[in-house]
Structure 1
Amino acid sequence: MSLFSRRRLSAIIFAALFFFLFLSFRSLNSRDLSSTYSYPATDGSQQIGTGDSGYWARYIPHYPPSSLRPLPRGKPSALPKVQTTFKTESPTDREVRLKRQAAVKDVFLRCWDSYRSKAWLSDELSPITGQKRGHFGGWGATLVDSLDTLWIMGLRREFEEAVTAAATISFKTTNLNEISVFETNIRYLGGFLSAYDLSGDRRLLQKAKEVGDMLYVAFDTPNRMPVTRWDIHGSARHQMQMADAHVLLAEIGSFSLEFIRLSLVTNDPKWFDAVQRITELLHDQQNSTQLPGMWPVIVNARNEKFGDHYDYTLGAMADSAYEYLPKTYALMGGLLPEYKEMYEVSMNTAIQHNIFRPLVPDSKDILISGTASVRGKDDEHHVRLRPEGQHLGCFTGGMLALGGKLVQNQTHVETGAKLTDGCVWAYKVSPLGIMPETFYTVPCESKEHCPWDENKWMDGVLEISGLGSNNANGNNGVTRDDVQAFIKKKNIPKGFTYVPDGRYILRPEAIESVFILYRITGRKDLLESAWDMFTAIEENTRTELASSALADVMVEKNPPKSDSMESFWFGETLKYFYLVFGETDALSLDEWVFNTEAHPLKRLLPA
């Protein structure tokens, strides 16, 4: 062989060896997009990549973690029992309960059939016009959110059809310029994981991993904090990114259930590592915020400062960050004790500063969760309560009841029961039997004793209404008759002082807490309350096609509809109504934990 030929052969062998090593390196890193991404047009409505279902898994990060926190090892603990032992029900009670459950299922099927025929694989169906909507990436949010509900309701044929369709969803494309990482996590990742845990269908595990790989790219920042409103197209172009300086607490603090469960079922610690970085910051800064024990609604993910803002609430913008503390502790069978610690500390602060007893006509011993605002600096901090009840905040009753059972704190259980009763009360006193999105009330000076005072209530209406001075003698020309006329005009029930947002958007939080509290206590009155809530919702939201959100529930009849039906109607609201009337051993709270989108995930249990 000539020298030239030998050199050429050596060059070929060397090139082949180099190529093999290069491929091996890529396989080890498994996140290379350099040869697959394409540049999207400016409207953000096109495909953002090509290749197989492992598209996002091949992304090469700009800021890879130097090491990964390993999944916790050891045997999960036998945590305290959550569910009560139910007594044998009479044949009559059973018949009534099952008829009610069947009624819930009928509503689900009517809405599902309309979605299937008019908006299949779209995010939402507009329940009046029958149009399609794509607010959540255009990846079939209603379809994915409904998978576990279909399974739970025993709709196996519909479930198989939905899984087959869901398996075709491409997470390389979106019609949005950016996506909410939070919403994608709780709806899509949670939906796939739950349906997999229930059915064992590995197609669902594959889709969960695809979503998880996509979301993991949002964590590719210098400090590994996620970009919560994520430019997915920029990442497809391999652009560098960094976390935002103003991030909602709920949007950064609500990954633990889904990410840890995904790491468990795939035995890949990368998602656990990603969420633990956030957890460690929350844990380290919990007692150094302006309201020690809680975190504010806005945090700085870029600078990793989680305590500078002044509003603290268990409601909107913070909610699920607190909800996930006891639930993650339960999910991991006690192997992550920091979640228990953070839950106990935060709830003790919330009970002191956020949770209050409202002034109500029958002096009923109920509670509402409001917002605490901190003003002043250093030793001159002043905490002021904003007594605003939120439908979104109604999850707190279930959270405290569940958390109290898990950590054996009876005060938390009783507080959770009173918070749930507060939301049931808000449903009952509202004109249509449906609680509005938000309302204000008069906070009692004491949680132990609060007799009804009509004048004090009217003073509260006057103070917040803007009619004039809070004075019974009618300063600024305002009299008691003026206040009564205002109450009548606005249709304000006794106990409410003002309703800034009268919508009902098919929310699940109240029935969620009713379900959890029923499983914990066995209180039969909760079944009656659940039925009253369901019938009021069904009667007023029903359309020819499905069920619609309402623009105003503070009217006496014929509430205006807003032609909206979010996916959580299928994934949460109807699921909780179905379960509360179902068999009490179905999805036991001692074996399952529900994410904030009502997707049940298997708890780690001792062998």
Structure 2
Amino acid sequence: MAGLLRLSLLHSQSQPWFSWLPLYVSHWFPLHSLQNLLYFRDETYLKGVRPNSVPVFTADEARRDAVVEAFKHAWLAYERDAMGDDEYHPISQKGTNLTAAGGIGYTVIDSIDAMLIMGLDDEYERARAWIRDKLSFDRNASFSTFETTIRVMGGLLSTYYLSGGDTLFLEKAQQIADRLLPAFDTPSGLPLPMVNLHLLEGVPDHDTGDFVSTAEASTLQLEFRYLAYLTDEDIYWDKVEKVMVVLKAATLPHGLAPIFIDIETGIYGLSPIRLGSRGDSYYEYLLKQYLQTNQTEDIYRQMYDEAMTGIHMYLAQRSVPGNLLNTAELIPDRAKNGKTGWRLLPKQDHLVCFLGGSLMLGATTSGAVVDHVSVPPLPHELSPQGKRDWFTGVELIKTCLATHNTQTQKKDKNSGKKLPPDWYIKGSPPGKPPPLDARYILRPETVESLFIAFRLTGDTWYRDQGWAIFQAIEKHCRIPTGGYASIKNVDQVPVEHEDKMETFMMSETLKYLYLLFSDASVLPLSEHVFNTEAHPLPIFSPIADSSSLL
């Protein structure tokens, strides 16, 4: 199993990291001087499927039902030991809240739409009753604007939609949205990273000062826009659209975004450019905002296309010796002459594994030249950029799967030898705890991409990879008394657990696995967008002039 927080795709450690990159990257150069590190290729590879494979769209019932049982194993333990608490600790069999003032039902709300999708009616009714009778957002403490939006607001809105319009969930979604709105009361309109839900005040992050991460500011739009559509309250739409106006104005020539932006001025700070933590979902939501409103807001397609071109020009590269396609990071630094330059750091967060599926989805929508793209797509149906992005998406998924060749999910069954060290887990001194990079915390990004890839190709190979991941989770993360725990080091067997089950285990990882093995008619991608916490929202046509700010 993988799930490494950061995957450094390097050459052998016996050589300097820049030895397989263009020489100038090891020195200080302005960003615009970097050259394209990737270009293609063989068009016969376009399909991203095995030769002569026959697309499959029916359910794999045995595997799907095994995922449902896993969800019940996780949920029933939480319900037994910690119902209503924000987080669950399966080994100690207890729950905790995010603040001393109490929680806001993170785990319940993050999980309830999965119950509807999986047909767990009894579990759903009990969770609904807790939300109706016991949920309170009136907490005198600071909560993350971003996390509360994607998990709580997103979960409530998705459940409203999937339940056929149960007003309980819409009312609760509007309640939390109203408590989040003060975060946007800033000179630029960019949101503060925290909100006190009782005092109704935005709160800065002491660690980042006047800055908010780009991902946090730009990953609120799907939720607030859908709420505005449902309630006809323009304030929700306008607040998050204003954020996009600021980000559009701050856009750099290559379309890529540094990971921090100044809340006061709306100008990007001198910070790394990467597709992992603090940057990832900015790129995800550019595409999804375009899709959410039925591909009517062309500005988001333009921003997305420019960003994807920037990724290919400056970040995409191949590892040695395995030739794995990956995305590096650009780190700002000051040269001796005082000018700022950028150095390329060949490190890829596991969070980047969302990008493979996202690129394939973008290729068949933003990159399509016909109204209805085949499954899998035919070469003449995609633009040159669409073909490029499809190929890169397929290759990135392979790279993310290669990280699963660890002791907890061995794939090289023909010999006891390890595969070439294109990536490695950063070490720690002997006798010290394993590094954070070695953990698997039940993350969903790879299975998310597998789900999207399967839906766009019908190739059962993607299902087989997801099943291997699920089996590893069952073998190494499942706690006999209930729930699933994180692993401290994926390359060490027997494993050592960390006593925590993240809410995205049920909200994302198991949901995406369930959908991977489901009939393709369940939540079709042509009718839905999934927020960054895997909460499905419907595609809709916006009200006239509802997006006039851009």
How far is 1:89 from its partner?
4.9
TM-score by length of 2: 0.77
How far is 1:211 from its partner?
1.1
**Per the alignment, in what secondary structure is the counterpart of residue 364 of structure 2?**
helix
Q: Which of residues 370, 386, 400 in structure 1 aligns to 2:345? A: 386
How far is 1:568 from its partner?
0.7
Question: Matches of residues 176-575 of structure 1 in structure 2 within 5 Å?
Answer: 177-199=141-163, 200-235=165-200, 245-287=210-252, 292-306=254-268, 308-360=269-321, 363=322, 366-376=324-334, 382-408=341-367, 409-427=386-404, 429-433=405-409, 501-543=437-479, 544-555=481-492, 557-575=493-511
Q: 1:240 to 1:233 in 2, by over 3 A?
A: farther
How far is 1:98 from its partner?
1.1
Does the CA-based 8 Å contact 1:179-1:232 persist in structure 2? yes
How far is 1:420 from its partner?
1.0
How far is 1:524 from its partner?
1.8
Which residue identity does 2:180 align to in structure 1?
L
Question: Matches of residues 98-117 of structure 1 in structure 2 within 5 Å?
Answer: 98-117=61-80
1:228-283 per-residue CA deviation (whole Å, 9 max, x = no partner) reads 122345436x9999995121111111111101111011111111100111101111
Q: 1:298 to 1:434 in 2, by over 3 A?
A: farther
After superposition, the CA RMSD in angstroms is: 3.4
Which residue identity does 1:412 align to in structure 2?
D
How far is 1:511 from its partner?
0.4
**Per the alignment, in what secondary structure is the counterpart of residue 356 of structure 1?**
strand
Does the CA-based 8 Å contact 2:88-2:500 persist in structure 1? yes
Does the CA-based 8 Å contact 2:64-2:517 persist in structure 1? yes
The structure that has the greater radius of gyration is 1
Which residue identity does 1:189 align to in structure 2?
M
1:455-486 per-residue CA deviation (whole Å, 9 max, x = no partner) reads xx69x989x8799xxxxxxxxxxxxxxxxxx9
How far is 1:191 from its partner?
0.1
Does the CA-based 8 Å contact 1:244-1:301 persist in structure 2? no
**Per the alignment, in what secondary structure is the counterpart of residue 80 of structure 2?**
helix
**Per the alignment, in what secondary structure is the counterpart of residue 459 of structure 2?**
coil
Which residue identity does 2:212 align to in structure 1?
V
1:83-105 per-residue CA deviation (whole Å, 9 max, x = no partner) reads 99x96759xxx68x211111111
Which residue identity does 2:402 align to in structure 1?
W
How far is 1:185 from its partner?
0.2
Which residue identity does 2:83 align to in structure 1?
W
Determine the structure 1 residue equivalent to 2:547. Answer: none
Does the CA-based 8 Å contact 2:86-2:105 persist in structure 1? yes
Does the CA-based 8 Å contact 2:258-2:270 persist in structure 1? yes
Q: Distance in 2 between matches of 1:595 and 1:589?
A: 12
Q: Distance in 2 between matches of 1:256 and 1:388?
A: 29
Which residue identity does 1:410 align to in structure 2?
K
Determine the structure 1 residue equivalent to 2:95. Answer: 132
Name stretches of at least 5 consecutive residues in structure 1 with no aligned partner: 1-81, 436-451, 468-485, 491-497
Which residue identity does 1:431 align to in structure 2?
Q
Does the CA-based 8 Å contact 1:354-1:371 persist in structure 2? yes
**Per the alignment, in what secondary structure is the counterpart of residue 179 of structure 1?**
strand
Determine the structure 2 residue equivalent to 1:120. Answer: 83
How far is 1:216 from its partner?
1.0
Of the structure 1 ranges 166-175 and 388-397, higher mean CA displacement relative to structure 2 is found in: 166-175
Q: 1:266 to 1:606 in 2, by over 3 A?
A: closer
Structure number with the higher helix fraction is 1
Q: Distance in 2 between matches of 1:520 and 1:223?
A: 39
How far is 1:106 from its partner?
0.5
1:55-85 per-residue CA deviation (whole Å, 9 max, x = no partner) reads xxxxxxxxxxxxxxxxxxxxxxxxxxx999x
Q: Distance in 1 between matches of 2:313 and 2:496?
A: 39
How far is 1:178 from its partner?
1.4
Q: 1:244 to 1:256 in 2, by over 3 A?
A: farther
Q: Distance in 1 between matches of 2:305 and 2:391?
A: 15
Q: 1:341 to 1:134 in 2, by over 3 A?
A: same
Question: Matches of residues 72-91 of structure 1 in structure 2 within 5 Å?
Answer: 89=56
Of the structure 1 ranges 345-354 and 161-170, higher mean CA displacement relative to structure 2 is found in: 161-170
**Per the alignment, in what secondary structure is the counterpart of residue 359 of structure 1?**
coil
**Per the alignment, in what secondary structure is the counterpart of residue 139 of structure 1?**
coil
Q: Distance in 1 between matches of 2:110 and 2:508?
A: 8
Q: 1:223 to 1:605 in 2, by over 3 A?
A: closer
Q: 1:251 to 1:583 in 2, by over 3 A?
A: same
Q: Distance in 2 between matches of 1:606 and 1:87?
A: 37
How far is 1:453 from its partner?
12
Which residue identity does 1:345 align to in structure 2?
E
Q: Distance in 2 between matches of 1:273 and 1:566?
A: 32
**Per the alignment, in what secondary structure is the counterpart of residue 506 of structure 1?**
coil
1:202-242 per-residue CA deviation (whole Å, 9 max, x = no partner) reads 11111111111111122223443321122345436x99999
Q: Distance in 2 between matches of 1:387 and 1:181?
A: 31
Q: 1:351 to 1:277 in 2, by over 3 A?
A: same
How far is 1:434 from its partner?
8.4
**Per the alignment, in what secondary structure is the counterpart of residue 361 of structure 2?**
helix
Q: Distance in 1 between matches of 2:361 and 2:160?
A: 24
Aligned length: 463
Name stretches of at least 5 consecutive residues in structure 2 with no aligned partner: 1-46, 368-385, 412-417, 544-550
Identity, in percent, stands at: 32
Q: 1:434 to 1:171 in 2, by over 3 A?
A: farther
Which residue identity does 2:265 align to in structure 1?
N
Q: Distance in 1 between matches of 2:286 and 2:467?
A: 30
Q: Distance in 2 between matches of 1:499 and 1:416?
A: 29
1:393-445 per-residue CA deviation (whole Å, 9 max, x = no partner) reads 11111111111211111211111111111111111x1121289xxxxxxxxxx
Q: Which of residues 517, 528, 531 in structure 2 aligns to 1:581? A: 517
Which residue identity does 1:343 align to in structure 2?
Y
How far is 1:353 from its partner?
1.8
Which residue identity does 2:531 align to in structure 1?
N
Q: 1:139 to 1:537 in 2, by over 3 A?
A: same
How far is 1:499 from its partner?
7.4
Which residue identity does 2:406 align to in structure 1?
S
How far is 1:303 from its partner?
1.6
Determine the structure 1 residue equivalent to 2:375. Answer: none
Q: 1:169 to 1:83 in 2, by over 3 A?
A: farther
Of the structure 1 ranges 570-579 and 136-145, higher mean CA displacement relative to structure 2 is found in: 136-145
Determine the structure 2 residue equivalent to 1:441. Answer: none
Does the CA-based 8 Å contact 2:428-2:435 persist in structure 1? no
